[in-house]
Chains A and B, each alone.
Chain A
Amino acid sequence: MTEPVRINPDDDILVRIRGLTTVLGGKTIFDALDMDIPRGSVTSIMGPSGTGKTTLLKHITGQMRGDAGTVQVNGQNVAGLSREQLYKLREGIGYLFQNSALLTDFDVFENVAFPLRQHTSLPEPLIRNLVLMKLQAVGLRGAAPLMPNELSGGMARRVALARAIVFDPQLILYDEPFVGLDPVALNQVMKLIRTLNQTLGITSVVVSHELAAVQQIADHVMLLSNGKVVAQGDPKTIADDGSPWTRQFFGGEADGPIPFRYPAGDYAAELGFAGAGK
């Protein structure tokens, strides 16, 4: 029998990561990473491409397991959960995929209704109303009968967002939610993330590169590089904290502690210049 999910509302930390070490294909993604995500906050995780931001979300949801260390969500060690317990935990987590990941067999309405149909036995009129409310929130109520291949990238992302919030989860993980959105949609999505956080107390983790957007919605920013949190703090001031990581990342410089170039041999020697490397 599946044990009930242990809820510990007194704990201020919803996601607690300690000593997480992950090596993929010989490359160290996380090097004894420690991270706390406060309950009821909007936390943004930033960092250069390939630094493991999406991988971190996969660890939080139990899609991947680290080589060492622990990831606790709501006081539960994710790696130690059985399949049933993990699925029970995921019912309380919304996840917005980088590429939307809409089910191509279903139209927009059925995509948003999918989690409700799978996990509840709500009457059809109630499901219909819930789905239309979520679609209205992302501005796509009129697109309910469209198929995913009829949507633009930005519309698909908003549908995926409606699906992620349809269960009113306690934790929502947004993987690059602002990519491909026009200014109007971007503003509305930012407002929605903030409203969900303020009105329902939903904890949000936003993986993004958009500093301007993050500054408007996040309570806390963490900069991830070389498998560790190299800087963290208030989104308004983190860019000016003076550390070499934040200076390079927010300044967009190629040289600095954050590696821009993939490790390679001697450039001149590879180009075949005589006497190179002597």
Chain B
Amino acid sequence: MSQLTPQRNNVVIESLTQIGNCGLFLLTLLAAIPRSARYVRETIRQLWFVGAMSLTIIMVCGLFVGMVLMLQLYHVLSIFGGTSASGMVVALSVYRELGPVVTALLFAGRAGTAVTAEIGLMRATDQISAMEMMAVDPIAYVGTPRFLAGLIAMPLLCCVFCAMAIFGGHLVGVTWLGIDNGTFWSNMTAQVDVRTDIINGVLLKSLAFGAVVALIAVFQGFTTPPTSEGVAYATTRTVVASSIAILALDFVLTAFLM
């Protein structure tokens, strides 16, 4: 049996400690929700920042994902004469997997890093300490609104992503490749189940991914060393940790929800 070297041992212990601390930080954020109720305006401001400001990238990426998916499926399904099912397969792929996962990965890259960098810089410039000195709880004022904004924004962005992907699929399949418009929509509506595909696939997964990305982003911001190098590392860690967490959580959720 192979043994872990002390160096690897340290990395494992460090990683587990980080996960444990992140879990405790989640409890702190949740406990601060009643206190942050008075900062509704700040939550709405953050919702605009992480949600509305991410719309462009989500819409453009959704459109191209749907287009390329339809293109690939059409060529594969044409071998078996099943091109009429292309729309349905695009919809199921997007609703169940691609929509929530790609949206979450984009969300981590666009909004997660911005949140980490912002909080990290607030720490580096003593703004967080200043809030504490003004008897304003930084977790309730800075942390929880950003966490809640991520939680609310992700399902909404995922819905937009899915709609754009279906639109992209329709654009390529119906307008370009000549699939019948009625067949495209009827196959899709016949096979897509609201509970399995929309509620479990789109909403539940994106809610879970939103919570994970927002938690990691806020946690990294609050725990990064308050230096420019620390902030740079923290933003990188946000993307890496979020990406791994999204894909791992996707497997777990899929296994439970199928």
Give the B-binding residues of A (Cβ under 8 A): 61, 63, 83, 87-88, 90-91, 93, 95, 97-99, 101-104, 114-115, 118-119, 163
Contact = CB atoms under 8 A, between A and B. Distances in A.
Contacts of A93: 133
A90 B129 contact: no
Contacts of B131: 103
A118 B126 contact: no
6 contacts: A87-B137, A93-B133, A103-B127, A103-B130, A115-B136, A118-B134
Contact of A99 (B126, B132, B133): B126
B125 A90 contact: no
A95 B134 CA distance: 8
A95 B133 contact: yes
Given A101-B129, A114-B134, 14 more contacts: A61-B133, A83-B137, A88-B135, A91-B135, A95-B133, A97-B130, A99-B125, A101-B125, A102-B127, A102-B130, A103-B130, A115-B134, A115-B135, A118-B136
Contacts of B135: 87-88, 90-91, 115, 118-119
A98 B133 CA distance: 13
B158 to A, nearest CB: 28
B134 A90 contact: yes
B126 A101 contact: yes
Chain B: interface size category: 10 to 19
Contacts of A61: 133
Interface of B: 122, 125-127, 129-137
A90 B130 contact: no
A90 B126 contact: no
A87 B122 CA distance: 20
B125 A104 contact: yes
Contacts of A95: 130, 133
Contacts of A98: 126
A118 B132 CA distance: 12
A98 to B, nearest CB: 8
B129 A97 contact: yes
Nearest to A87: B135
A104 B137 CA distance: 17
B122 to A, nearest CB: 8
B133 A104 contact: no
A98 B130 CA distance: 11
Contacts of B137: 83, 87
B172 to A, nearest CB: 43
A115 B133 CA distance: 10
B140 to A, nearest CB: 11
A91 B133 CA distance: 8
B104 to A, nearest CB: 26
6 closest Cβ pairs, A-B complex: A101-B126, A101-B130, A87-B135, A95-B133, A90-B135, A115-B134
Nearest to A86: B135
B47 to A, nearest CB: 15
A90 B127 contact: no
Contacts of B134: 90, 114-115, 118, 163
Contact of B132 (A63, A88, A119, A163): A63
Greatest chain A CB density within 10 A among B122, B125, B130, B136 is at B130
Contacts of A163: 134
A275 B126 CA distance: 49
Contacts of B129: 63, 97, 101
Nearest to A97: B126
A63 B130 CA distance: 11
A101 B127 contact: yes
B12 to A, nearest CB: 25
A155 to B, nearest CB: 16
Contacts of A104: 122, 125, 127
A165 B127 CA distance: 17
Contacts of B130: 95, 97, 101-103
Contacts of A91: 135
A48 to B, nearest CB: 22
